[in-house]
Structure formats: C-alpha cells, structure tokens
C-alpha cells in the first residue's frame, strides 16, 4: 500500500501529522543578530566591486536566517542592507511584493515612487507598496546605506511573484524637501476631501523621524505626569498606520517604533508570527529563548515565531521593528487565548 502511495504521489496523514500539525509552532527560523558594523563594511566592499543597474537592479544584500534554506530573515519577511554609491542611480522597476525602507544613518538619496521624489534621511520610514514603480538616486558625493524590508518570502510561497522593469533613469530627478504624497496626506488628523476611496496601503510615502521622535517623547512625558499611556512602564511605542483606514501601512507588514528608558526590561512573552528589529540608537540586549544578543546602533535582530523574547535597555534604547502580524491576524493564527499573554514588544 505504501509503495502504491509513493507511485501515485500520495502521503498518508497518520505518518506526517506530528510534522505538519504539531501541538505548538516549531519554527525553522532561529533567533539571530547581524552587526551593523559588519553589514555596512561588506556593503561598502560590494559598492566598490559590484555595479548597480540592469541585471542585479539593486546593490542589496539579504540577511539570511541560519535556520532557513532560502535567504530570508524569516519564513514571511525579507530584510536586506542596500547601498548606493556617490551620484549613482538605481533604475526603476516594480513588483508584486510590498516594500519599505528605514534609514539608520545618512542622507542625500531620493527614492522616486510612481514619479514622486521622496527624500531619505536618518530615522525616516519610507513605503513602496506593491506595483509602485520605484528607483533611487544619490545626489551627493557620499555613499548611503539603509535597510529594505519586504514580504518576499510570503509572496514567493504563494507563487504570486511578478516583476517588471521600468525606465533606466528615475522619472523625476528633483530633490524636494517633502514629497507630493506627504504634502497631501501627512497632516495629523486631516484627510483630503478629494480622496473618497480608502487604499489598501498607506498613501504616505515617508513617515518622518521628527514626528516619530516627538510622539515617543510625549508618551514618556505623559507617563512622568502619571498618565498610563505607555505599553508598559518605561516603554513607549507607536505604530505607523494607513490614514485612510487606520490599519497597518501595508497589507502584509506591520511597522512600529519603540523607545525604552535606561534600565527598562520588557515582559517576556511570545506570539505566532515573526518580527525583525533594528536598533536606531542606544545599547541593550535581546533575550530570545536561551540566547542573548547584545545590540547597539544599526544592529538587526530577528525574533522567530513563538520564540519567547524580552528586551533589556542598558541606555535609552530606540528600536524600529517590522513584522508579519497583519497576515497572522487576517488568517486567524494569533496566539490561542489563555496560553500566553500577548507580546508587549
């Protein structure tokens, strides 16, 4: 009978149920940390050896989780360091994957999204939703590096990948302080009446550091005044949202920013779904399962699904994070009630 199963490409559930339906998640991805000092040095070396342009399209180097076969940070998330040299142009293209950029240091590059030039500066969180043409141009004599985050693994596993080349040069080489999308949409609590339809992804091309920083400072100031507005004592956090719906900025990716006071230790907890953090400023450590990762500015850490994790801030610690939680929530795969408290990170 089993030989017949093999001959007909069939597999009985009773021999596989422990692997495909375990009592709790058993992720292949492992906790891991990449050091910014090493990432930026290798990206610089790539910049000296590898041209940017048609063919490779981007000088982007993926962060490959040691527990996975593919070059993914987690089974659903892709993270890479991208490097653009002085006066270089990365040509335009588009794809079915959702993408963003986060800038930990540097300035002088503009990303052009559907013809709208968007300044990239330290602390900025920038969106490139699926099917938007986008390219980058560096207008300075200095290189710049940043991290890219995409839902590449998720789209790859669903066989939903599409890719299309655009112009070799970006469609608008101007360098405005603020993009057209920001001028239209990035005003607190205000929506243009001319836009009558909600959008699946946020129409804001860039969430600026000055607003993120101010919001986090105000949360901690209100906490000092006795108001319970933080996630937990000493832990301020904000989520970037789509102003047309109040939901996540991208349909498959959640993005947040966290600020921990010196000495703060977050609650140790776990959830279904994976998350990637980049330290923006400060020093601290991640305790993920039995592994401890000391981190400082620029370091990237992946917390796999169902891994118990907490963060300890040695100094004031700023963390950018992104996760696959919109997918998990839409599929109803969040942590079962009563098993563990929701992750506070």
Alpha-carbon gap, residue 297 to 291, rounded angstroms: 20
In the chain, what percentage of residues exceed pLDDT 70? 97
Helices and strands of the chain, counted as H and E runs: 7, 20
Nearest to 307 by CA among 277, 264, 263, 262: 277
- Residue 19 has a pLDDT of 87
- Answer whether 0.85 is exceeded by the pTM: yes
CA angle 93, 97, 102 (to 5 degrees): 85
- pLDDT confidence tier of residue 18, bands split at 50, 70 and 90: confident
Write the CB contacts of 3 (distance below 8 Å, at least 6 apart in sequence).
none
Grouping H, G, I as helix, E, B as strand and the rest as coil, residue 156 is helix
Query: Does residue 47 have a pLDDT over 70?
Result: yes
- Give the HSE-up count for residue 179: Cα atoms under 13 Å, Cβ half-sphere: 27
**Residue from 206, 213, 184, 250 nearest 109 by CA:** 206
pLDDT for 338 equals: 55
- What the block records as the tokens of 301 is 């850490």
Helix or strand or coil: residue 193? coil
Binned at pLDDT 50, 70 and 90, residue 336 comes out as: low
């Amino acid at each position: 009978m089993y030989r017949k199963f093999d001959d007909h490409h069939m597999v009985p559930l009773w021999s596989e149920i422990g692997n495909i339906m375990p009592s709790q998640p058993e992720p292949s991805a492992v906790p891991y940390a990449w050091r910014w000092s090493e990432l930026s040095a290798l990206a610089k070396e790539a910049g000296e050896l590898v041209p940017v342009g048609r063919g490779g399209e981007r000088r982007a180097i993926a962060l490959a989780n040691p527990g996975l076969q593919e070059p993914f940070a987690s089974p659903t998330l892709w993270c890479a360091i991208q490097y653009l040299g002085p006066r270089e142009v990365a040509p335009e293209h588009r794809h079915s994957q959702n993408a963003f950029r986060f800038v930990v240091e540097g300035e002088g590059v503009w990303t052009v999204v559907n013809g709208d030039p968007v300044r990239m500066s330290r602390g900025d969180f920038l969106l490139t939703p699926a099917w938007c043409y986008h390219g980058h141009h560096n207008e300075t004599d200095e290189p710049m590096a940043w991290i890219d985050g995409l839902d590449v693994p998720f789209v790859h596993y669903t066989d939903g990948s599409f890719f299309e080349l655009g112009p070799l040069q970006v469609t608008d080489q101007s360098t405005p302080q603020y993009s057209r999308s920001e001028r239209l949409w990035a005003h607190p609590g205000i929506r243009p009446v001319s836009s009558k339809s909600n959008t699946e992804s946020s129409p804001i091309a860039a969430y600026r550091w000055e607003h993120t920083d101010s919001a986090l400072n105000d949360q901690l100031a209100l906490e000092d005044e006795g108001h319970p507005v933080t996630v937990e004592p000493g832990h301020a956090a904000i989520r970037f949202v789509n102003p047309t719906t109040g939901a996540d900025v991208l349909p498959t990716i959640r993005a947040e920013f966290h600020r921990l006071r010196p000495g703060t230790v977050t609650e140790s907890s776990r959830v279904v779904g994976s998350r990637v953090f980049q330290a923006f400023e400060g020093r601290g450590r991640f305790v993920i399962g039995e592994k401890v990762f000391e981190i400082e500015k620029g370091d990237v850490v992946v917390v796999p699904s169902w891994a118990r994790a907490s963060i300890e801030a040695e100094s004031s610690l700023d963390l950018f994070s992104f996760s696959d939680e919109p997918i998990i929530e839409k599929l109803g795969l969040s942590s079962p009630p009563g098993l563990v408290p929701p992750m506070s990170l």
